[in-house]
Structure 1
Amino acid sequence: MTETLPFSLTLYKIATQLLARFMPGVLSRRAAKGREDPTRIGERLGTAPVQRPKGKLVWIHGASVGESIVGHALAQELRQAYPGLTFLFTSGTKTSADLMARKLSAPDLHRYVPVDTPMATKAFIAGWQPDLAVFVEGEIWPNLLLATKQAGVPLALVNARMTARSVKGWRGRAKTAELLFSLFDVALPADTRTFEALSLFRSGPIGTIGNLKLAAPAPIVNAKEAKVLAGKLGNRPIWLAASTHEGEETVLLAAHAALRLGASDALLILAPRHPERAQDVEIECRKQGLVPVRRSKGQVPGAQTPVWLWDTLGELGLAMRLAPVTFVAGSLQPGIGGHNPVEPVQLGSTVVSASFVGNFLDLYQALEDQDGAVILDDHASDRIALTLAGLLGDPERREHLNEAARGVIAQGSHAMADTVAALVALLGRAKA
């Protein structure tokens, strides 16, 4: 690649080159604080202690858990269309690494994404020599993209999503945005806002709009365990607060306390987005007089237990199966952007959300337009409690919402087929 880099990108490359010598120490300190895996720091520096698998290797990068799940589902479909592929998954968080460790089997493998220094990114590409690089949703690391392109590896951006904030940020660095987004041979947006942004920032073609999260398979739920737990819980009213963040639990616990004034046996399954916050969440429960039991300790609610603190990883699907109604959190306060409502729909749990859902705006708008979810503009705990009481007491209304939501999700089924077709075409161009 011989194109002259914009000044801001040149400055970035120089700065990251200078910082490279300090990265081993920085990573070691992060590991001491529990923010990095101390046994895998070498991966962050681009080393590849495992030998590259033979044959065609497709590298799929997703920033964290959600993107990794999409990437894994995409890999399964791509393997069906193009047998014999091996997949290298990268991500940047410990939770996503743990998830992929459970999901993957040989010859596929997971590595941490290298830090974005010229040395680490070049070492990573040279070590793995992928035949195709796929970035899920849009974590943009300039040195990594440039090293990939310079090595002649086809690049794809799939399920691309930009928040309003990120679009504004890229507008302020228009020349850098144009260069980086034009590095991708294929760009497939997940929503209208991203399509419009890519139209501004990209010189190459833009694929059709389609959200891969609509096409992802439903979470696997142990049917036997679900049946046993459902039997223990009985017919009491149950709702799930899924993927809650700090500050949201206070509102939702108050809503649950209000709900229990009319339904004294109501149970809240409370699943924090980050299970390591469980101790703080338990303290908040106790402050509101709602003493919980904890899933991580193998505890099961008694007949009058008000809260089941769901502080485990990889089991949210089971909680959704147990709860007729799911409040999808991350939506009560600005700055988070909401979370994906597809999984509760797939598992038959009616979706309720607050209104701060900017990261999934098109999807929530479609659900609301088709009467497939309840979106609350009023975030007061009493209003949430009234909504929950109405839904928990009206199974016919829940089924109407669920059926409409399933229809919305079915409309996104083309996204996976379009993405796989685009990637197969790129593989046909890859070096043999």
Structure 2
Amino acid sequence: MTGPAALLWRTAGTLAAPLLPLYLRRRARAGHEIAERLGERRGCAGGARPPGRLLWIHAASVGETLSVLRLMDALAARLPDLAFLVTTGTVTSAGLLAERLRPALAPRVRHRFAPLDVPAWVARFLDAWRPDAGVFVESELWPNLIAAARRRDIPLALVNARLSPRSARLWARGAPGLARELLGAFRLVLAQSDEVARRLAALGAPRAACWGNLKYAADPLPADPAELERLRGLTAGREILLAASTHPGEEALALVAHRRLTAIYPRLLTILVPRHPQRGEAVALEADGLVGRHAEAPRLRVARRAAGQEPGPATAVYVADTLGELGLFYRLASVALVGGSLVPHGGQNPLEPARLGCPILLGPHTWNFAEPVERLLAAGGAVQLAPGPDLAAALAREAAAVLREPRRGQAMAAAAAAVAADQAGLPDRVAEALAELLPPRADRGAGQTLAAHGTTEKD
């Protein structure tokens, strides 16, 4: 990649490299990195490359990681000799990958944190792992990393691609040449929707297509059966409002809705599941203090799961601040708000509750999942709150409508489940296309011999 924008980005990455270790150490102190694995962010291998063919999958965070689990299963079944290198950028996604991999697949998978986009660091990473092909998931397009892979003739695919109208405009106005070079590096480009495919094609993606959305084909979120039964026993006879994967600002709105709903449903339990579990203590303090400021209302009785507390009969709000347990609470809930949608974050994945028979409420900000949301709304599988000054009142009103009419909630859940099950065969189709990017089994593949690539980047 030789255009001015690519050169500027490459230069910026090189100049920033001396400062980035300090940045990484600060992130580690805040819990956003694992201190013992910071070398991976500088491209250090942290282990030996497995023998044979290796497919590299880059899935930036939790949603992207979960969306490719069934794709990996399909590839593993098709290619018994294939090993996987999965790179992610967050501690949470690394933990969930370890939890969700099927036991039969886990020995074939290596996880590493993705190198920051410094030319020397991405060169070190690729030279150590020598992947035979690479798969980027959704929307992470790192110019130096992609350029380095292209120089090594590593076949690349972009799957389940996502590109908002705003991002498309920014690329088109600010760096159209760089966008064309980046997207031109991919031999296969599969978008989440036809609309996204058109945006990518306009920016230069060759033969961009939409075969479906891998998030429709993901497995249901898991839940420990014994723990689910135990929680059902603790909450029997109570209405449960779940606010799932919430972001700052949303818990306060859910708590105001809780106060309104308790006038009708005095035994209501509201469960708050913050998107980032480390916020749990702050969320619990907010829950206890927010209602406590109102003289006419008693202080909320709040329990925190990470602190070992239970949702007892006197508990009004339960903060579920643990990792990987959202499947428990979607199964437990009477009605659920999908977080990230009451504030302008763009929404979290509404297909997760759709697979678990839970009536779905959405805030007005859902552009991250525009196409699934459109299908859910059209099918009657979800209700979306209209933008307005009092989202808490709207949330209380729509939650009350579902709680008041159980048959309505059941119909919503059935419609949502049908939408979520629509593309069960997609992982097999995508796996077949990705298999064609890999060298024949007898050929050790692109990137195996460093001398073939003439890499010259220095630390």
Shorter-chain TM range is over 0.9
Separation of aligned partners in 2, 1:260 and 1:32: 40
Equivalent in the alignment of 1:8: 5
Given that residues 68 and 96 in structure 1 are in contact (C-alpha distance below 8 angstroms), is that contact kept between their aligned partners in structure 2? yes
Determine the structure 2 residue equivalent to 1:396: 407
Give 1:373's aligned residue.
Answer: 382
Name the one with the larger helix percent: 1
Match of 2:341 in 1: 331
Q: What is residue 212 of structure 1 aligned with on the other side?
A: 214
Residue among 418, 421, 425 paired with 2:436: 425
- The residue aligned with 1:292 is 302
2:366 to 335, 346, 357: 357
Tell me the distance in 2 between the aligned counterparts of 1:380 and 1:87: 44
Residue 267 of structure 1 aligns with which residue? 269
| Deviations 1:80-108 (CA, angstroms, capped at 9, x unpaired) | 12222111111111111222233453231
CA distance in 2, matches of 1:407, 1:35: 37
Question: Is residue 52 of structure 1 aligned with residue 63 of structure 2?
Answer: no
Structure 2 letter corresponding to 1:109: R
CA–CA separation in structure 2 for the residues paired with 1:400 and 1:428 = 48
* Structure 2 CA distance for partners of 1:33 and 1:311, relative to 1, 3 Å: closer
Question: How far apart, in 2, do the equivalents of 1:382 and 1:398 lie?
Answer: 19
Q: Give deviations 1:187-245, integer Å, cap 9, x for gaps.
A: 00002331111111225212324110110001111122211210221111112100111
Normalised by the length of structure 2, the TM-score is 0.89
The AA in structure 2 aligned to 1:55 is: G
> 1:135-159 CA distances to partner (integer Å, 9 max, x unpaired)?
1102011111111111111101000
The residue that corresponds to 1:306 in the other structure is 316
Shift of 1:428: 4.6
Matches within 5 A, 1:183-198: 183-198=185-200
Does the Cα contact within 8 Å between 2:356 and 2:417 map onto a contact in 1?
no
Distance 2:202 2:440 in 1: 27
Show structure 2 runs of 5+ residues with no match: 292-298, 445-459
Q: Determine whether 1:119 maps to 2:115.
A: no
Task: Give ranges in structure 1 of 5+ residues lacking alignment.
Answer: none
Cα deviation for residue 33 of structure 1 reads: 4.0
How far is the alpha carbon of 1:429 from its aligned partner?
Answer: 6.6
Contact residue 160 and residue 190 of structure 1 kept, 8 A: yes
Higher alpha-carbon deviation: 367-376 or 76-85: 76-85
Q: Sort the Cα spacing of 1:164 and 1:291 in 2 relative to 1 into closer, same or farther, 3 A.
A: farther
State the identity as a percent: 39
Q: Secondary structure at the match of 1:135?
A: strand
**Aligned amino acid, residue 404 of structure 1:** A
2:247 maps to which of 241, 245, 252: 245
Compute the RMSD of aligned alpha carbons.
Answer: 1.7
The count of residues paired between Structure 1 and Structure 2 equals: 428
Q: Is the 8 A contact 2:342 2:391 kept in 1?
A: no
TM-score by length of 1: 0.95
Q: Greater RCO between the two (CA within 8 Å, min separation 6)?
A: 2
> Counterparts of 1:215 and 1:16 in 2: how far apart (Å)?
37
1:401 aligned counterpart, secondary structure: helix
The 8 Å contact of residues 210 and 414 in structure 1, kept in 2 or not, is answered as no
Q: CA deviation at 1:6?
A: 1.4
Query: Do the aligned residues in 2 keep the contact of 1:325 with 1:350 (CA within 8 Å)?
Result: yes
Counterpart in 2 of 1:383?
Answer: 394
CA distance in 1, matches of 2:19, 2:257: 49
Alpha-carbon offset, residue 424 of structure 1: 1.5
